């Protein structure tokens, strides 16, 4: 279609096009806020298994969380990229050769130093011991070292010779191979060629009339260095400018630190700074002769051809940086911190996603401390705070409730209690709620939402509803929260003998206790729960104390002492429903003597059993609901536990470990309805 003078034809055919790409302006502004629940759950699992909170946090950072890559995976990515650089770029041969020469030189020097007995020899040994692991960095550090061994000096000079050939290979095709095994005279001829070449190019730049004759003389003298055989000075300049601009682009793709190390390595070429001086003159002359070449571009060169130091200095530096990143990500050295990790280097080597993962891990560590999930005790040790225990208990209760089988047609309920008596609070409506609406809160939410929607937005007034009506939305609705008003005094007795650890019952027991503690403290706040652990002796435990309890080799299952503590707890609440739940994997083998001494005897003695049964019968007289959760199916254990439950007018439940939490929670809820 032809363009019209007014441009209307163009306007009618113009289409709007939208392009989408990954956001690269820093952290994604649409990223949801940090969800600490997964991190806390991972830390909680480690703590329940006996780790300290600080160590548990380090484990969480190493493994990561759902949707966040951990330090171990980032370290594996760094190692994999290093391996790919060596394999894809065929850099391994050169690197191994340099490393072989370096190791051989250091070994020969150490042999010589071992024979020398002066103090300077000892200092030199220390200097060699502290060489950096990076090959390039070690070569650079040894540039000023005074070698005592002639063999070591020759090996190191071979490295410098190799570096020189590869530096020249950046500018001249095939120079690395041509100079292999070069003598001092050959190297001097190279420097002489560079001087003559620069003089020729500078004469061309000045426009001297006999430049063609100078070119012919130059090629007769130094033609073996130019296998492409240029026919005139323009072709010579074209060939040289192409390789020199490629070298400049490689240099521009490096960081300031990488360029500094490249210069340091190049300065060692052939053991003289004259070569680099002549190369700088060459670059200046070529830039003046071919200013249109891409001198300032930045490109990362990759390919299947073998790379030496000339074309692969960036790859060598990448490898050294990846080695440093691997050490930083491992966090195995004393005092290691996430701040030690070079974030810019990580992004440079592994991409933006790796940088996002590192920032997320740092934010998680910072948020866990700043938001009060970890705190320091009086002894300076990190502990899970009460806030963290609430979140862990909620997660464990959610796992337990989510794993229970429900009746066909049953649905979740968020009633705080069973009688539906208002608590005075309300909460947003969720699908499945049957509680009455809190009309006042619902209308207020609708009014506030309408006012906000109709208010100014970005400096412009939005149009208000014409009819002035308030229209309800689902998000406005709040329902009345209810709770049960009856009370229960609950004692959960958990076996903490070492057999629980050996049989893998330690963590399920802790998770069950913490889930029940959370249920009581949030949904049945009028109930009084006491956690009692019993091994050789019994003790009252808080939820954080039980979570951090270590398994200790301690023979004895002193259920007698635990029942004494439970009875004392129940008597404090005479008007409450008494509930006693016992989690154990062994028969009673210890009891408490009148003088407070714990007596242990295996197998169960008559006195231990009689005292234990006596306390269970006392529970029956208190009309307590007693349930024994038996972990283990040994016939002797089953017979003894059944007899104890009969004496207490209670019952026995023998769940598997995965069903322990659900069984305890269900029994608690059932006992409250009695």
Task: Give burial (CB, 10 Å; 0-12/13-18/19+) of 403.
Answer: exposed
Domain boundary among 273, 301, 329: 301
- Residue 186: phi, psi to the nearest 5? -65, -40
Instruction: Tell me if the pTM is above 0.85.
Output: no
What angle, 0 to 180 degrees and rounded to 10, lies between the N-to-C axes of helices 274-289 and 184-206?
A: 30
Lowest mean pLDDT among 21-25, 94-98, 221-225, 331-335: 21-25
Task: Give burial (CB, 10 Å; 0-12/13-18/19+) of 668.
Answer: buried
Rounded to whole angstroms, how far apart are CA atoms 115 and 118?
9
State the pLDDT at residue 540. 95
Q: Is residue 400 part of a domain?
A: no
How confident is the model over 397-433, as pLDDT tens digits? 776 666 544 444 434 444 444 445 566 678 888 776 7
Sign of the Cα pseudo-torsion (217, 218, 220, 221, in order): positive
State the pLDDT at residue 466. 47
The residue behind tokens 């020199």 is: 244
Residue 90 above 60 pLDDT?
no
User: 638 and 533: one domain?
Assistant: yes
Query: Per-residue pLDDT averaged across 481-510, rounded?
Result: 82
Q: Is residue 393 part of a domain?
A: no
For the beta carbon of residue 651, count every other beta carbon within 10 angstroms.
13
Report the percent of the chain where pLDDT is more than 90.
16
User: 493 and 479: one domain?
Assistant: no
Rounded to whole angstroms, how far apart are CA atoms 589 and 640?
12
State the pLDDT at residue 57. 72
Q: Is residue 374 part of a domain?
A: yes
Look over the chain and give the mean of its residue pLDDT values, rounded to a whole number. Answer: 76
Alpha-helical runs (H) found in 416-504 = 439-454, 498-502
Residue 553 above 60 pLDDT?
yes
Residue 323 above 60 pLDDT?
yes
Rounded to whole angstroms, how far apart are CA atoms 299 and 295?
11
Residues 6 or more apart from 165 whose CB is under 8 A from it? Answer: 175, 176, 179, 180, 182, 308
514 neighbors 396 (Cβ within 8 angstroms): yes
Determine the 3-state secondary structure of 461 from DSSP.
strand
Q: How many domains does the chain have?
A: 4
User: 255 and 328: one domain?
Assistant: no
What angle, 0 to 180 degrees and rounded to 10, lies between the N-to-C axes of helices 37-48 and 53-63?
A: 130
User: 191 and 116: one domain?
Assistant: yes
Which candidate, 583, 552, 664, 566, places its Cα nearest to that of 624? Answer: 566
DSSP category for residue 577 = E
Q: How far apart are the first and last CA of the chain?
A: 87
Query: Per-residue pLDDT averaged across 612-627, rounded?
Result: 93
Domain boundary among 337, 360, 384: 384
Query: Per-residue pLDDT averaged across 436-460, rounded?
Result: 75
Q: Is residue 313 part of a domain?
A: no
Domain CATH for 592: 3.40.50.410
**Cα 571 to Cα 430, 487, 492, distances in angstroms:** 40, 14, 15
User: 334 and 292: one domain?
Assistant: no
For the beta carbon of residue 67, count every other beta carbon within 10 angstroms.
10
User: 274 and 252: one domain?
Assistant: yes
The residue behind tokens 């809160």 is: 441
Rounded to whole angstroms, how far apart are CA atoms 364 and 57?
10
User: 571 and 643: one domain?
Assistant: yes
Domain boundary among 461, 483, 505: 483
Query: Per-residue pLDDT averaged across 384-393, rounded?
Result: 67
State the pLDDT at residue 45. 65
How confident is the model over 564-579, as pLDDT tens digits? 999 999 999 988 899 9
Structure-model confidence comparison of residues 59 and 629, the more confident one: 629
Residues 134, 136, 139, 140, Cα dihedral to 10°: -110
Query: Per-residue pLDDT averaged across 28-50, rounded?
Result: 60
State the pLDDT at residue 68. 78
Q: Is residue 7 part of a domain?
A: no
Residue 390 above 90 pLDDT?
no
502 neighbors 462 (Cβ within 8 angstroms): no
For the beta carbon of residue 362, count every other beta carbon within 10 angstroms.
16
Tokens of 314: 């960036």
CA–chain centroid gap for 457, Å, is: 40
User: 441 and 502: one domain?
Assistant: no
Q: Is residue 48 part of a domain?
A: yes
The residue behind tokens 């650890």 is: 501
Determine the 3-state secondary structure of 658 from DSSP.
helix
Which candidate, 310, 253, 266, places its Cα nearest to that of 139? Answer: 266
Q: Is residue 437 part of a domain?
A: yes
User: 369 and 450: one domain?
Assistant: no
Please give the biggest Cα pair distance in the chain: 123
Task: Give burial (CB, 10 Å; 0-12/13-18/19+) of 296.
Answer: exposed
- Domain of 601? 488-672
User: 254 and 355: one domain?
Assistant: no
Tokens of 620: 């029956």
User: 536 and 604: one domain?
Assistant: yes
Highest mean pLDDT among 92-101, 155-164, 177-186 belongs to 155-164
Rounded to whole angstroms, how far apart are CA atoms 394 and 327?
37
User: 575 and 546: one domain?
Assistant: yes
Rounded to whole angstroms, how far apart are CA atoms 290 and 183?
34
Confidence of residue 52 (pLDDT cuts 50, 70, 90): low
Tokens of 513: 């206790």
Q: Is residue 216 part of a domain?
A: yes
Residue 510 above 70 pLDDT?
yes
Sign of the Cα pseudo-torsion (136, 139, 143, 144, in order): positive
Which candidate, 349, 206, 188, 201, places its Cα nearest to that of 274? Answer: 188
Structure-model confidence comparison of residues 340 and 177, the more confident one: 340
DSSP string, 263-286: HHHHTTGGG-THHHHHHHHHHHHH
């Amino acid at each position: 279609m032809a363009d019209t003078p007014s441009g209307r034809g163009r306007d009618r055919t113009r289409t709007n096009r939208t392009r989408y790409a990954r956001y690269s302006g820093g952290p994604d502004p649409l990223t949801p806020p940090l969800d600490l629940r997964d991190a806390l759950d991972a830390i909680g699992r480690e703590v329940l298994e006996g780790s300290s909170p600080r160590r548990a946090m380090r484990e969480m950072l190493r493994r990561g969380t759902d949707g966040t890559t951990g330090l171990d995976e980032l370290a594996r990515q760094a190692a994999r990229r290093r391996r790919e650089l060596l394999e894809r770029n065929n850099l391994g041969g050169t690197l191994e050769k340099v490393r072989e020469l370096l190791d051989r030189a250091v070994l020969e020097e150490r042999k010589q130093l071992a024979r020398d007995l002066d103090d300077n020899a000892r200092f030199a040994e220390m200097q060699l011991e502290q060489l950096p692991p990076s090959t390039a960095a070690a070569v650079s550090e040894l540039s000023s070292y005074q070698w005592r061994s002639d063999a070591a000096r020759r090996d190191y000079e071979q490295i410098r010779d190799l570096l020189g050939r590869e530096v020249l290979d950046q500018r001249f095709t095939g120079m690395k191979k041509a100079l292999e095994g070069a003598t001092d005279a050959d190297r001097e001829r190279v420097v002489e060629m560079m001087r003559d070449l620069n003089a020729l190019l500078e004469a061309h730049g000045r426009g001297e009339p006999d430049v063609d004759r100078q070119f012919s003389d130059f090629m007769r003298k130094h033609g073996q260095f130019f296998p492409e055989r240029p026919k005139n000075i323009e072709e010579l300049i074209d060939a040289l400018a192409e390789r020199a601009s490629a070298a400049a682009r490689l240099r521009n793709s490096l960081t300031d630190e990488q360029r500094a190390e490249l210069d340091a390595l190049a300065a060692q070429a052939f053991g003289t700074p004259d070569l680099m001086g002549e190369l700088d003159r060459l670059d200046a002359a070529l830039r003046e002769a071919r200013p249109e070449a891409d001198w300032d571009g930045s490109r990362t060169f990759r390919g299947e051809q073998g790379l030496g130091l000339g074309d692969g200095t960036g790859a060598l530096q990448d490898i050294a940086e990846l080695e440093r990143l691997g050490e930083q990500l491992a966090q195995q050295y004393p005092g290691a911190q996430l701040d030690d990790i070079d974030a810019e280097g990580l992004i440079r080597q592994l991409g933006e996603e790796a940088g996002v993962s590192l920032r997320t891990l740092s934010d998680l560590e910072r948020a866990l401390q700043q938001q009060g999930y970890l705190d320091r005790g009086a002894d300076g040790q990190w502990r899970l705070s009460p806030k963290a225990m609430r979140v862990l208990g909620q997660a464990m209760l959610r796992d337990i409730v989510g794993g229970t089988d429900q009746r066909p047609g049953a649905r979740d309920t968020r009633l705080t209690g069973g009688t539906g008596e208002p608590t005075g609070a309300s909460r947003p409506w969720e699908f499945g709620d049957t509680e009455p609406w809190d009309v006042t809160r619902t209308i207020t939410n609708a009014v506030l939402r309408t006012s906000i929607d109709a208010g100014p937005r970005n400096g412009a007034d939005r149009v208000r509803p014409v009819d002035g009506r308030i229209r309800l939305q689902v998000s406005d609705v709040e329902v009345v929260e209810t709770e049960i008003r009856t009370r229960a005094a609950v004692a959960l007795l958990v076996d903490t003998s070492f057999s629980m650890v050996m049989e893998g019952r330690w963590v399920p027991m802790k998770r069950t206790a913490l889930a029940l503690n959370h249920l009581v403290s949030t949904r049945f706040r009028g109930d009084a729960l006491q956690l009692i652990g019993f091994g050789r002796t019994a003790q009252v435990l808080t939820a954080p104390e039980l979570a951090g309890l270590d398994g200790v080799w301690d023979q004895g299952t002193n259920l007698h002492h635990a029942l004494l503590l439970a009875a004392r707890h129940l008597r404090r609440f005479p008007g409450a429903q008494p509930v006693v739940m016992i989690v154990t994997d062994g028969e009673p083998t210890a009891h408490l003597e009148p003088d407070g001494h714990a007596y242990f005897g295996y197998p169960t003695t008559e006195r231990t059993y009689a005292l234990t049964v006596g306390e269970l019968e006392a529970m029956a007289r208190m009309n307590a609901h007693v349930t024994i959760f038996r972990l283990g199916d040994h016939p002797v254990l089953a017979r003894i536990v059944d007899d104890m439950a009969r004496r207490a007018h209670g019952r026995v439940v023998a769940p598997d470990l995965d069903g322990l939490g659900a069984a305890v929670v269900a029994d608690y809820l059932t006992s409250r309805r009695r």
